[in-house]
Amino acid sequence: MRFRAVLLLSVAIGASGAAQSGAHWDYYGKTGPLGWGHLDPAYRLCSQGKEQSPIDIRGAKLNKALQPIEFHYLSASVELENTGNTVRINVRPGSYILADGVRYDLEQFHFHHPGEEAVNGKLTDMDAHLVHKSADGKLAVVAIRLSQDAGDPNATLAALWPHLPSTAGTTEKVSDMINPGGLLPADRGYWTYMGSLTAPPCTEGVRWFIFEQPVSISRTQLRAFAMLYRINSRPLQDRNGRRIEANE
């Protein structure tokens, strides 16, 4: 389920499913990924950037100095929004992660079909991008790969899926307590690299954390999302010599 991700940057919540503020873009035809960089001067990095995402994760180097990510997520009601590019989950303030001693507050999370991150050339059925922002405006995205072959159904997805808004521009509220931590895999080993938003304006300087262990999504859930977004993921981008590191 490749959701059109747009991480949060002032007026645009970029690579994780945000509202569009520039020229219209899409995942098909002339307004699709190959044309993004020519649609608006603000999107130039989509075609000219050297640290674009997503990439194929392979050849990662073990870095024993990398610490586990600390997750401090709160349970609260959420709002699901169909942005026209993805389904974004708007969360209440207060949830955050600590990565390399830096606090990043959770802004929102969203989904892509199929998954955007590849591992040794292979994509998963979908992925979830949890978008975070530090006090000084730096972005960090935690990517969770979703697969039909990953074991028991995920309870958090099961709680969200009945509320998927079917029409662009509409929202659905979930009054039940939802904790984004319920999406996390049991094994928190991850790969990390520096990249970009995966949707216009394709802003660079984004820290990516991609969990090695996939999380389960059911065939029914996958089909439900695919009915909304047959494809909402960006093709893989050139690595351009970037280093990919793995923690223990």
Does residue 65 lie within any of the structural domains?
yes
In this prediction, residue 9 has a pLDDT band, given cuts at 50, 70 and 90, of very low
Phi, psi dihedral angles at 237 (to 5 degrees): -110, 160
Among 68, 130, 66, residue whose Cα is nearest residue 104: 130
CATH of the domain at 38: 3.10.200.10
Please report which confidence band the pLDDT of residue 21 belongs to, taking 50, 70 and 90 as the band edges: low
Band of residue 10 on the pLDDT scale cut at 50, 70, 90: very low
In a domain, 171, yes or no: yes
For residue 94, tell me if it sits in a domain. Answer: yes
SS3 sequence of the chain: CCCCCCEEECCEEECCCCCCCCCCCCCCHHHCHHHHHHHCHHHCHHHHCCCCCCCEECCCEECCCCCCCEEECCCEEEEEEECCCCEEEECCCCCEEEECCEEEEEEEEEEECCCCCEECCEECCEEEEEEEEECCCCEEEEEEEEECCCCCCCHHHHHHHHHCCCCCCCEEEEEEEECHHHHCCCCCCEEEEEEECCCCCCCEEEEEEEECCCEECCHHHHHHHHHHCCCCCCCCCCCCCCCCEECC
- Give the chain's largest Cα–Cα span: 46
Instruction: Please check whether residue 228 lies inside any domain of the structure.
Output: yes
Predicted TM-score (pTM) of the model is 0.91
For residue 2, is it within any domain? Answer: no
Q: Is residue 118 part of a domain?
A: yes
At residue 161, φ and ψ (nearest 5 deg) are -60, -35
For 145, phi then psi, to 5°, come to -85, 130
Q: Number of folded domains in the chain?
A: 1
Tell me the residue range of the domain where 158 lies. Answer: 7-246
pLDDT bucket at 131, cuts 50 / 70 / 90: very high
pLDDT of residue 104: 98
Is residue 191, in this structure, part of any structural domain at all?
yes
pLDDT of residue 150: 77
Q: Mean of the pLDDT values across residues 98-123? A: 97
Residue 18 has pLDDT above 80, yes or no: no
Averaged pLDDT for residues 3-7: 34
| Residue at 126 is within a domain | yes
